[in-house]
């Protein structure tokens, strides 16, 4: 999804492909009241030690547990301007998925600084978002320390992935199924957070030749012949467990379905691309390679 940008005020400027409102210099020394829209952004602000400045968050802000106690501004894609502005924020930080655009324009009209951060599904994107949030929250030194730790851990993850590949064992062929509603089951192609995670974990996305998320069809599932089916814990729960998930079109007739090889991880942990990314890649790789074996 392209970044949401606005050109109706001279305060708007661009960082990468995300639109960011310039923050007045006076704001940097005043009390901050931050509303965070996006689970990974909220998680990063906690990791920076900025939780004391948070006055609200969206419903995807599930980690750490304390974030769930913040006043809610609703689902990231269906925000209410009244709900956000009632918290009297001095800054709203949001992921590209935030919306609808009309609500973002209302926040703009209220002259509340709004920072839209690029949802770059790469380790480099995590670093860039961390650095930007550190600047916005006035925690630059904490940001440097957090990035240094991330880079050190990421180097270890890459080394583990290379050693696993060097064993010569075939990479597991994986189908990611997004099933938070069994009435609308989708599978993941390229250009998605799930595809990026599968690649980082040293596995093969069986639908990597198609773009984005697509509706699941029996023909596509059977032709893809995955060794393992990957889902989110929330999706697996919504489906009624493995038995319910395998009732989705075609899944029971795949090698993964017949052997009941299903792996599920918590959605924000798996797809959030926040500061837990190195840990998430290791957990995913261990689960998928182990299940395929």
CB of 187 closer than 8 Å to CB of 163: no
For the chain, the residue count is 293
- Listing DSSP states for 187-255 in one string gives EE-BTSHHHHHHHHTT-EETTTTSBSEEE--HHHHHHH--SEEEEEHHHHHHHTSHHHHTTSTTGGGSH
pLDDT of the residue at 179: 85
In a domain, 37, yes or no: yes
In a domain, 152, yes or no: no
Is 130 in the same domain as 190? Answer: no
CATH of the domain at 236: 3.40.50.1980
pLDDT of the residue at 292: 76
pLDDT of the residue at 277: 98
Is 213 in the same domain as 283? Answer: yes
Nearest-5° angle of CA 90, CA 91, CA 97?
150
Report the DSSP beta bridge partners of residue 21: 12
In a domain, 1, yes or no: no
pLDDT of the residue at 226: 98
pLDDT of the residue at 293: 72
In a domain, 233, yes or no: yes
Is 64 in the same domain as 190? Answer: no
* Phi, psi torsion values for 95, nearest 5 degrees: -80, 170
* pLDDT per residue as tens digits for the range 12-63: 323 333 334 444 443 444 589 999 999 999 999 999 999 999 999 999 999 9
Percent of the chain predicted with pLDDT > 90:
84
**Residues in the chain where the model's pLDDT stays below 70:** 1-30
pLDDT of the residue at 220: 94
Candidates 234, 262, 247; CA nearest to 175 is 262
* Last residue in a domain, options 80, 113, 146: 146
CB of 250 closer than 8 Å to CB of 219: yes
pLDDT of the residue at 30: 57
Residue 92 structural domain: 12-146
In a domain, 157, yes or no: no
């Amino acid at each position: 999804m392209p970044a949401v940008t606005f050109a109706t005020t001279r305060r708007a400027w661009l960082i990468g492909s995300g639109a960011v409102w310039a923050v007045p210099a006076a704001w940097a020394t005043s009390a901050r009241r931050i509303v965070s829209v996006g689970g990974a952004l909220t998680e990063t602000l906690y990791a920076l030690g900025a939780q004391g400045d948070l006055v609200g968050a969206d419903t995807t802000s599930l980690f750490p547990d304390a974030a769930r106690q913040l006043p809610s501004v609703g689902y990231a894609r269906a925000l209410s301007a009244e709900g956000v502005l009632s918290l009297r924020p001095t800054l709203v930080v949001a992921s590209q998925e935030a919306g609808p655009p009309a609500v973002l324009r209302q926040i703009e009209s209220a002259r509340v600084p709004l920072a839209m951060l690029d949802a770059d599904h790469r380790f480099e994107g995590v670093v860039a978002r961390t650095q930007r949030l550190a600047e916005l929250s006035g925690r630059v030194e904490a940001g440097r320390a957090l990035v240094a730790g991330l880079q050190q851990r990421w180097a270890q993850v890459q080394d583990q992935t290379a050693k696993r590949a060097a064993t010569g064992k075939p990479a597991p062929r994986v189908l990611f199924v997004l099933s938070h509603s069994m009435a609308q089951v989708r599978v993941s192609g390229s250009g998605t957070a799930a595809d990026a995670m599968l690649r980082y974990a040293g596995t093969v996305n069986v639908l990597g030749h198609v773009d984005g998320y697509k509706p699941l069809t029996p023909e596509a599932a059977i032709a893809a012949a995955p060794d393992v089916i990957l889902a989110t814990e929330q999706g697996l729960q919504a489906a009624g467990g493995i038995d319910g998930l395998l009732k989705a079109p075609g899944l029971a007739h795949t090698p993964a379905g017949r052997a009941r090889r299903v792996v599920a991880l918590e959605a924000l942990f798996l797809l959030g691309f926040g500061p837990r990314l190195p840990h998430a890649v290791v957990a995913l790789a261990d689960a998928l390679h182990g299940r395929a074996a």
